[in-house]
Amino acid sequence: TVNNNPVNISIIDGKLPTVTTSTANALQFDVNNYKPLDVTVDNQTIKVRAYENIAYVANPVDTAYQSMNIYIPESYFEDKSINGYTAATAPIFMPNAVGGYMPAKPMTVGVGRDGKPNSVAQALHRGMIVASAGARGRTLKSEQGEYYGKAPAAIVDLKAAVRYLKANDGVMAGDAGKIIVNGTSAGGAMTALLGATGDSADYEPYLQKLGAAKASDSVFAVSSYCPITNLEHADMAYEWQLADVVDYKKMSISMLDYNVKRELVPGTLTDGEKQTAQALKQDFPSYVNGLKLIGHDGKLLTLDKDGNGSFKDEVLYHLNKSVNTAHKQGVDLSSYAFLAQKKSAEPYYIADYSEFLKAYTGRSKTPPAFDALDLSAGENNLFGDNATDNRHFTAFGVKHSTATDAKVADAQTVKLMNPMAYLDDKTANTALHWRIRHGAKDSDIGFAIPVILATKLANQGKNVDFAMPWDKGHGGDYDLDELFAWVDSVAK
């Protein structure tokens, strides 16, 4: 075999059943290797070429996950256009199915959770090329007992897939200069990371080890639903919002993944948990103040030591916009006692925020929500390493750990998972266009996290479309018509 990236990850020494040996041209897109597929949306059927299970790195560790499905409308092989796009100009829609930081397979043409054709099918009908890559995740373990999907595996994999598309831009239909990534929750975090960290040298050693194509890994646009991100600040953000909400409905770690139907177990915070919540809440203002964010009306966003101030007003601004958007769509809001009205084009506002948090959004995690003191959270599991299943990743977690022999993730690995860490980094090529959604009823992560991300991007002059849709809980792809209208607006 010809391989200029010799691999030294012990787990791929031929012991995993899925390992394949690479050749120099393994990363070349083979335009003739497809099966024809009929894709139907709204009683309209189009012909599509399905290129499935393409290994997107030369030295895969696990081809069940490090593989990509690419779908190209047949029209583009007949010199026809769809929705104003041609084979040369069509954007590449790149959705991932990552959930719960678990391993994910590449997506296929199918139906979404709402029973309607999924984003893959709908994107094809709108003339997009679709490329969906799988990625390793936190639970993967070799026969030798080594973990091989811990952070930063998933983001490295997805970057390698982007590189594959860029490297093959000349032979594949579609414009790899217009890659639009899409994902939900942990998958939304992955898309935010892809958008923030384009071409950053930090990922290079990992990409080289995998034998990723030598090409750019920057992307054009990001669609991110409820990103579970900025994890090392997520515990304080959660308690800044919910410290005084002591009743919860909690899911088990196996149900973190938004793709899995949840069973919620009700409970009330213990005295110890209440103290933890208050302590975390107190750490949040200095984090926010250090960001020096500018709000929608040009004001510096700050918080006082009690957690009040213009940053809180900014979160409420987005929530109030959500309420009024629902009102304009004809949603009946009369049953919500926490709302009030004033004489205005946007009459509704949240008059009783505490009650809104208690009665509407609620709490679904116990403190610390992400770096659990007993190492039981999904994110502890994400930040394990080859030999350690679960680790802490915050100073607070380390200091208050209740686990025996608890270990802590190195700062660099934590950085590699946080898009915020790259937005001030001039060596990273950040996506120009961002569409971020976080449901007003989503309690998987604090509202502050998406607000901080969207605000930071806007402050840097990026084109940001951010909203917190009313009555949406933890999930994504619930507004595909609007999503694809947005894609057209940025890609055409």
Closer residue to ligand DHB (CB): 295 or 378: 378
The encoded tokens of residue 368 equal 């610390």
Q: What does each C-alpha distance from 358 to 160, 190, 285, 314 come to in angstroms?
A: 42, 30, 22, 20
Tell me the residue nearest to ligand DHB as measured from the CB: 185
Q: Check residue 134 for interaction with ligand DHB (CB under 6 A).
A: no
| Binding residue (CB under 6 A) for ligand DHB from 103, 195, 378, 439 | 378
Question: In the complex with ligand DHB, which residue's Cβ is closer, 124 or 445?
Answer: 445
Residue whose CB is less far from ligand DHB, 112 or 177: 112
**What Rg value do the Cα atoms of the chain yield, rounded?**
22
* 288 contributes a contact to ligand DHB by CB under 6 A: no
Q: Which lies closer to ligand DHB via its Cβ, residue 163 or residue 474?
A: 474
Binding-residue pattern over the window 74 to 113 for ligand DHB, x denoting contact by CB under 6 A: -------------------------xxx------------
Question: Which residue lies nearer to ligand DHB by CB, 148 or 258?
Answer: 258
**Minimum CB separation from ligand DHB for residue 449, in Å?**
11
Q: Which two tokens stand for residue 126?
A: 């709108």
Identify whether the C-beta of residue 375 lies closer than 8 Å to the C-beta of residue 259.
no
Q: Is 228 in the site for ligand DHB (CB under 6 A)?
A: yes
Nearer to ligand DHB, 285 or 475 (CB): 475
Binding mask 436-455 for ligand DHB (x = CB under 6 A): --------x-----------
When asked if residue 186 is in the footprint of ligand DHB (CB under 6 A), the reply is yes
**CA–CA separation, 46 and 81 (whole Å):** 13
Among 69, 75, 168, 185, binds ligand DHB (CB under 6 A): 185
Q: How far is the CB of 27 from ligand DHB (least distance, A)?
A: 29
Of the candidate residues 93, 258, 356, 396, the single one contacting ligand DHB (CB under 6 A): 258
The answer to whether 125 and 212 are in contact (CB under 8 A) is no
Q: Does residue 383 belong to the site contacting ligand DHB (CB under 6 A)?
A: no
Q: Footprint of ligand DHB on this chain (CB under 6 A)?
A: 99-101, 185-186, 228, 256-258, 378-379, 444
